[in-house]
Structure 1
């Protein structure tokens, strides 16, 4: 299964204050790093992956063409999402893209089957949310109809406002994958 009309946007511009002084994106995981594992997971399912990082990040091991440099990352996840979607929407390479899957850079345990199942439900005017054991998780796939609202985000609340405003367009996708909830917030979470 290929997710041709869906681009993956891996959010990795945050400062991860709960992780401590170290850059959690570079934390060792499975002979790689946390961010590299999360991006590799996205690459297995999506033909095109973009990674939102801070404007001053040095991202060794990643192709500069895949990076979306975010200037306002200090303003929170919503601000980073806003800048990333502004850039996606303006890029002529994405004119035919129907939706974007928003993945978090600290979620390396998503199953390929889950990502493929979510992609199958993507549509221009739909928001696809995975549910594991009756609780929502990530990634969330936003149809292009919602990109302008995502581009307007500027705070720290992520995309909650867009999700709340479009409850009628949300598609709740049951999945059997605890990886949709497993993010790495603290060093002990790596274990």
Structure 2
């Protein structure tokens, strides 16, 4: 998910913020995600605003891009747009689950993705937890996609998780990256 407006980051677009290694925040997050997912049975796609240029954002040309026409309405609306696009794609009709990953979380360990992906299935919501705190990415089995396409506003998918707590599986991990997103320039400097 990289369609947000990052209002807490100030006037700059945090997707372009430069990390200590010289890459942008979004590029760093995508590289971390792709290093694991490329060997798994998952495909990475980046959700951006309709007016965004994937090349300007540094999104590799081989990564599918999904545009979120409702991005201005918030994260929930962007998730709904993305799930609709995945659900409508006949090439993805056999996909059992999808992961909602935030584009501002570059510190997630590669093992975390593997652990979550191995637990994903059609009838389960899988979420990482670090020292009792829930994190991201969250995997949603296909059974929950009809609920996701009705999201709106900026709450994300919390409502779907809350309403389906009996289908929620927490994976406890020693990875503080699952709770560390970058919302301010000060947090970027601390990375």
Same fold (TM over 0.5): yes
2:37 equivalent to 1:46: yes
User: Residues of 2 paired with 1:64 and 1:19: CA distance?
Assistant: 29
CA distance in structure 2 between the aligned counterparts of 1:190 and 1:65, rounded to whole angstroms: 25
Moved >2 Å (runs of 4+): 61-65
Please report the RMSD computed on the Cα atoms of aligned residues, expressed in angstroms. 1.1
Residue in structure 2 matched with residue 188 of structure 1 by the alignment? 186
Under a length normalisation based on structure 1, what TM-score does the superposition of the two structures give? Answer: 0.92
1:55 pairs with 2:50: yes
- 1:37 maps to what in 2? 28
SS at the partner of 2:162? Answer: helix
Give the match for residue 18 of structure 2. Answer: 28
Task: Determine if contact 2:44/2:63 at 8 Å carries over to the other structure.
Answer: no
Among 176, 179, 182, the alignment partner of 1:178 is 176
Q: Work out whether residues 97 and 140 of structure 2, in 8 Å CA contact, stay in contact via their aligned partners in 1.
A: yes
Asked whether the 8 Å contact 2:148–2:160 carries over to 1, the reply is yes
Q: Name the one with the larger strand percent.
A: 1
TM-score, structure 2 normalization: 0.92
- In structure 2, runs of 5+ residues without a counterpart are none
Structure 1: 5+ residue runs without aligned partners? 1-10
Deviations 1:108-154 (A, max 9, x none): 01000111011111011000011100010000011111111111112
Per-residue deviation, 1:65: 5.6
Partner of 1:7: none
CA distance in 1, matches of 2:173, 2:141: 20
